[in-house]
Structure 1
Amino acid sequence: MSTLTLRELERRIRTVPDFPRPGISFKDITPLIEDGEALHAAVDALAEATEPYEYDRILSAEARGFVFGTALSYRARKGLILARKPNKLPRRTISASYDLEYGTDSLEAHADSIPPGTRVLVADDLLATGGTARAMCELVENAGGIVAACAFLIELRFLEGRSRLAPYPVVSLISYDEP
């Protein structure tokens, strides 16, 4: 187990003003990911925070969500379901649309990746407005699965994305109360 605290992990996240457009304060996790000890500590902390929830698979969205989804899947020995941008998956897909802080997009998953009754942990790097996470939850439920919980490295509390995920349990490691 790493000796890094959540505060030390937070120091490895850079705020980039006005990216990807003016007024947005982008939380850049690449310094944390580039630091092996910090990445290890973050994955361990997220895994420990999600231990109380029973789940069969993990669903993560591209691209940064794959970093944490893959690591959590490996650690928990659970399968990983990929949520991708439209037309990137080769088999029949299901889709869900969502609004971002700065636009609209949609996600797709293979229709057969979530058998009915499968308990799924939705994992991503960041909870902002909740649009992406809500879309992932819709993918799970539209396939007949059950959302066990939602887990994030970072939560931007001031954007109130957690409220869009009710009634699902939400876990986040690092929270920002203002931009």
Structure 2
Amino acid sequence: MTQSPAVAGLEDALALIADVPDFPEPGVLFKDITPLLADHTALALVVEALAAPARDTTGTPVVDKVLGMESRGFILGAPVALALGVGFVPVRKAGKLPRPTYAVSYALEYGEATLEVHRDALEPGERVLLVDDVLATGGTAKATIDLVEKCGASVHAVAMLMELGFLPGRETIGSVPLTTLLTV
């Protein structure tokens, strides 16, 4: 696993993530990112840190698109795409996209979920950065990797705001380079 490159002030920005005990149910410690999102400086630092894995050593973007997974991946991924000067592609829950899609279903601990992407969202050969807020079991990230491959594109890297280190997300996504800004 790769941690974020040293960014001045990033630690203070990440400290804005609030712990909410017993939400959404007793025994769960929810990580609320809304205070971080509400702080312009903190959000700008996080966006730059999430964009870093998609740049070469000179700072030049090496990806063609950023994909954000529903729904907080939209909040983080769109400004990352702007920072990189590339397009943004939303990966949605089933039935939310209006044109022909590719779909991938994956197991959850309580059932199954399906993610979709427009069939024309990516061109064969494009390189993409996946962005989301939390890597837990890795099911959402792995399904998105599979969608990218169905489009004929490739995943350059995955950038996550947080990783739940006690869950097997890293193992689930395999050898795809992973950058996380905070491991909890």
Alignment TM-score, normalising by the size of structure 1 = 0.89
How far did residue 90 of structure 1 move? 0.9
Deviation at 1:79, TM superposition (A): 0.9
Alpha-carbon distance between aligned partners in 1 of 2:104 and 2:135, rounded to the nearest angstrom: 17
Match of 2:74 in 1: 66
Whole-Å Cα distance in 2 between the matches of residues 19 and 108 of structure 1? 28
User: Aligned partners of 2:127 and 2:53: how far apart in 1?
Assistant: 17
Q: Aligned pair in 2 of structure 1 residues 8, 127: CA closer, same or farther (>3 Å)?
A: same
Matched, 1:41 2:45: yes
Q: In 1, distance between residues paired with 2:123 and 2:84?
A: 19
Asked if the contact 2:14/2:42 (under 8 Å) is kept, the reply is no
Q: What is the CA distance between 1:84 and its match in structure 2?
A: 0.8
% identity of equivalent residues: 45
Query: Contact between 2:50 and 2:160, CA under 8 Å: does it hold in 1?
Result: yes
Q: Which runs of 5+ in 2 are unaligned?
A: 1-6
Separation (CA, whole Å) in 1 of partners of 2:97 and 2:109: 25
Residue pairs, 1:51-130, within 5 angstroms: 51-52=55-56, 54-100=62-108, 103-130=111-138
Distance 1:50 1:117, change over 3 A: closer
Structure with larger RCO (C-alpha < 8 A, sep 6+): 2
Equivalent of residue 140 in structure 1, options 148, 162, 166: 148
- RMSD value, Cα: 1.8
Query: Are the aligned partners of 1:6 and 1:174 in contact in 2 as well (CA < 8 Å)?
Result: no
1:8 and 2:8 correspond: no
Q: Alignment partner for residue 32 of structure 1, among 28, 32, 36? A: 36
**More off after superposition, 15-24 vs 122-131:** 15-24
Assess, with a 3 A threshold, how the Cα gap between structure 1 residues 41 and 103 changes in structure 2: closer, same or farther. farther
Cα distance, 1:4 vs. partner?
A: 5.4
Q: How many residues align?
A: 174
Q: Give unmatched runs, 5+ long, in structure 1.
A: none
After TM superposition, give the deviation of residue 19 of structure 1 in Å.
2.4
